[in-house]
Chains A and B, each alone.
Chain A
Amino acid sequence: MIKIAVCIKQVPAYSEGEMDPKTGVLLRGGLTSVLNIYDLPAIETALRIKEEKGGEVDVFTMGPPKASDVIREAYAMGVDRGYLLSDRHFSGADVLATSYTLMQGITSVSHYDLILCGKQTTDGDTGQVSGALAKWLNIPYINWVTKIVKLEKDSIIIEQMMENEEVTIKTKYPCLVSVEQSIFIPRIPSLKLKIAAKKKEIKVLSLSEMQDQNKNHYGLRGSATKVEKIFPPTKVKKRPIVHKTGIEAASDIFKIIQQIK
Chain B
Amino acid sequence: MNRNINEHKKAWRNILVYIEYHDRKVHPISYQLIGKAYELASSIGYNVCGIVIGKDVALSKQQLQNYPLKSVFLYEADEYFKADLYEKILSNCICEMKPSVVLIGGTLEGRSLAPNVAVTFRTGLTADCTALYLRDADLVQIRPAFGGNIMAQIVTTDTRPQIATVRYNVMEPIEPTFDYETEFIIKKVDKQIVSKIEILKTIPIEKKKGIAQQQILVVAGRGVKQKKDLAMLKELANLLGGELASTRGLVERGWMASDRQIGISGQTVRPKLLIACGVSGSVQFMAGIGNVDNIIAINTDQDAKIFNIAHHSICGDLHEIIPQLIRCFLDASGDKHI
Contact = CB atoms under 8 A, between A and B. Distances in A.
Contact of B315 (A171, A242, A250): A242
B22 to A, nearest CB: 5
A154 B111 CA distance: 27
B125 A169 contact: no
Interface string B133-155: 00000001100111111111111
Contacts of A161: 108, 205
A227 B152 CA distance: 7
Interface string A1-19: 0000000000010011101
A236 interface: yes
A157 B200 contact: yes
Given A96-B118, A227-B154, A122 B197 contact: no
Interface string B292-310: 0110101000100001111
Nearest to B150: A230
A128 B112 CA distance: 8
A226 B289 CA distance: 27
B114 interface: yes
Given A142-B197, A230-B153, A241 B119 contact: no
Contacts of B320: 245-246, 249
Interface residues of A, number: 83
A4 B322 CA distance: 52
B338 interface: no
Contacts of A199: none
Given A132-B119, A253-B314, A16 B205 contact: no
Contacts of B284: 15
A169 B115 contact: no
Nearest to A232: B150
Contacts of A135: 87, 115-116, 119-120
A163 B107 contact: yes
Contacts of B140: 228
A155 B88 CA distance: 22
B243 interface: no
Contact of B128 (A126, A175, A239): A126
Nearest to A95: B125
Contacts of A253: 275, 296, 298, 312, 314, 321, 325
A165 B205 contact: yes
Given A166-B202, A233-B144, A242-B315, A141 B116 contact: yes
B65 interface: no
A246 B258 CA distance: 30
A39 to B, nearest CB: 14
B153 to A, nearest CB: 5
B122 A131 contact: no
B315 A225 contact: no
A107 interface: no
Interface centre among A169, A231, A251 (most CB of B within 10 A): A169
A230 B152 contact: yes
Contact of A17 (B107, B144, B146): B146
Contacts, number: 269
A253 B239 CA distance: 14
Contact of A236 (B157, B203, B309, B327): B309
Interface string A176-205: 000001100000000000000000000000
A134 B118 CA distance: 12
B77 interface: no
A106 to B, nearest CB: 15
B70 to A, nearest CB: 27
B256 to A, nearest CB: 14
B272 interface: yes
A260 B115 contact: no
Interface stretch (A44-52, A56-64, A80-88, A216-224): A216-224
B154 A123 contact: no
A244 B112 CA distance: 48
B316 A136 contact: no
Contacts of A251: 324, 328
Given A127-B111, A256-B312, A171 B198 contact: yes
Nearest to A119: B265
A233 B328 CA distance: 37
B253 interface: no
B83 A224 contact: no
Given A15-B148, A247-B324, A143 B111 contact: yes
A249 B316 contact: yes
Given A130-B115, A246-B320, 20 more contacts: A17-B147, A17-B149, A95-B118, A122-B265, A125-B127, A125-B264, A144-B108, A163-B205, A165-B80, A165-B204, A167-B201, A230-B152, A233-B287, A239-B307, A239-B313, A241-B313, A242-B312, A244-B315, A245-B320, A253-B296
Interface of B: 1, 3, 22-23, 27, 80-81, 83-84, 87, 107-109, 111-116, 118-120, 122-128, 140-141, 144-159, 195-205, 207, 240, 258, 264-265, 272-273, 275, 283-284, 287, 293-294, 296, 298, 302, 307-317, 320-325, 327-329, 332
Interface of A: 12, 15-17, 19, 24, 26, 94-96, 99-100, 120, 122-123, 125-132, 134-136, 139-144, 157, 161-172, 175, 181-182, 217, 222-233, 235-236, 238-247, 249-254, 256-257, 260-261
13 contacts: A15-B146, A131-B111, A143-B112, A163-B107, A163-B205, A166-B203, A226-B155, A230-B145, A233-B149, A239-B313, A246-B324, A250-B321, A251-B328
